[in-house]
Amino acid sequence: MNCKYCQSTETVKFGKSQGKQCYFCKTCKHKFVDNDNFVKMRTKSNVIVTSLDLYFEGLSTRKVQRQMAKIFEIKVSQVSIWKWVMKYSALAKEFVDTLTPQLAGQWHIDETMIKCDGDYKWFWEMIDNETKFMVATHLSGERTIKEALSILNQAKERASERPNKIMTDGLWAYEKAFKKTFYSRYKADKVELVRRVGIRTRETNNVVERLHGTLKDRLKPMRGLKSKETAQTFLDGWFVFYNFLRPHQSLKGDTPAKISGVNIEVENWKFMIQKATKLQTVNSV
């Protein structure tokens, strides 16, 4: 019996609770019940996993609720589904932030407007051209040098190597933020900045524009995000889903994580949650 918290096999029987066998983990010192539930959850893991998958594939919480009734013949509230999205998006993002992708080196960055708390915010996205890995995201109320610096620094910290080229539109903030983040006098560390790329030029930003379109297709059923805090958590979940769980046609059915060499054997939300729970447990011990 593997521990629910740290996946250790060093477990022993520890009495029963409501007729179900309990175990004690010698590694992390946690007690748990022998069932198919995630840590501290009463709902079966397959119900939660299916709900998360359907939600990030594009269904509203109301439609996910209906599908749970059809598939599992159980009643699940829309509030519960949303809480699962918030909880496991944050948990999974914390885990994937510890992983380092091997990127091809040509990054595209652009910003788009999304509705949040009755107003519009700027959502910045950066994607690696070849692996289609979403390198970094950022939510802001303005398009300033400070905001551009935020996403460039995030990308720099996540990648294993400096990029060869960064493609942007004509936003003035990119050039100054780029110089602060990637400027180098050494030829080996040189990063090229390509600005004002357009549809009529040889090099375009279409790859990140398609990324915007994919996100907005998901946001349509939601009719906007309620607050900046919940919006950020949802977008963290979207980052995890897009990079690690969503197969891409242009990658022949593989995920960006697999193409970029992040080999963590994640097949679905269940594997992701288990690995994230293990990391959280190890860090807290």
> For residue range 189-238, what is the model confidence (pLDDT) as tens digits?
899 999 876 665 556 788 898 999 999 888 887 766 778 888 999 999 99
The two structure tokens encoding residue 247: 């197969």
Give me the pLDDT at residue 242, please.
95
How far lies 284's CA from each of 30, 67, 106, 229, 277, in Å? 12, 36, 37, 24, 11
Give me the pLDDT at residue 222, please.
78
Q: Is 51 a domain residue?
A: yes
How far lies 164's CA from each of 108, 118, 149, 187, 191, in Å? 11, 39, 18, 11, 5
Say yes or no: 20 and 63 in one domain: no
Ranking 31-40, 60-69, 102-111 by mean pLDDT, the lowest is 31-40
Q: Is 246 a domain residue?
A: no
Say yes or no: 51 and 18 in one domain: no
Closest CA to 126 of 205, 35, 63: 205
User: If pLDDT is split at 50, 70 and 90, which confidence band does 88 have?
Assistant: very high
Say yes or no: 17 and 125 in one domain: no
Structure confidence by residue, pLDDT tens digits, 146-196: 999 999 999 999 998 999 999 998 889 999 999 999 988 887 789 999 987
d(CA 243, CA 284): 26
Say yes or no: 122 and 217 in one domain: yes
Say yes or no: 111 and 223 in one domain: yes
Say yes or no: 184 and 128 in one domain: yes
Q: Domain containing 211 — which CATH number?
A: 3.30.420.10
Please tell me what DSSP assigns to residue 186: S
Domain that residue 63 falls in: 36-97+267-284
Give me the pLDDT at residue 262, please.
86
Say yes or no: 114 and 156 in one domain: yes
Say yes or no: 24 and 42 in one domain: no
What Rg value do the Cα atoms of the chain yield, rounded? 21
Contact criterion met (CB below 8 Å) for 128 and 260: yes
User: If pLDDT is split at 50, 70 and 90, which confidence band does 108 have?
Assistant: very high
Domain count, the chain: 3
Say yes or no: 116 and 222 in one domain: yes
Q: Is 257 a domain residue?
A: no
Q: Is 256 a domain residue?
A: no
Q: Is 260 a domain residue?
A: no
Burial class (CB in 10 A: 0-12, 13-18, 19+), 60: middle
Say yes or no: 276 and 180 in one domain: no
Q: Is 241 a domain residue?
A: no
Q: Is 19 a domain residue?
A: yes
d(CA 242, CA 134): 8
Say yes or no: 150 and 84 in one domain: no
User: If pLDDT is split at 50, 70 and 90, which confidence band does 283 have?
Assistant: confident
Q: Which amino acid type is present at position 236?
A: D
d(CA 58, CA 37): 25
Say yes or no: 68 and 118 in one domain: no
Q: Is 47 a domain residue?
A: yes
Helices (H), 45-130: 45-57, 61-72, 78-96
- For residues 90-119, average pLDDT: 92
Across the chain, mean pLDDT equals 90
pTM of the model: 0.91
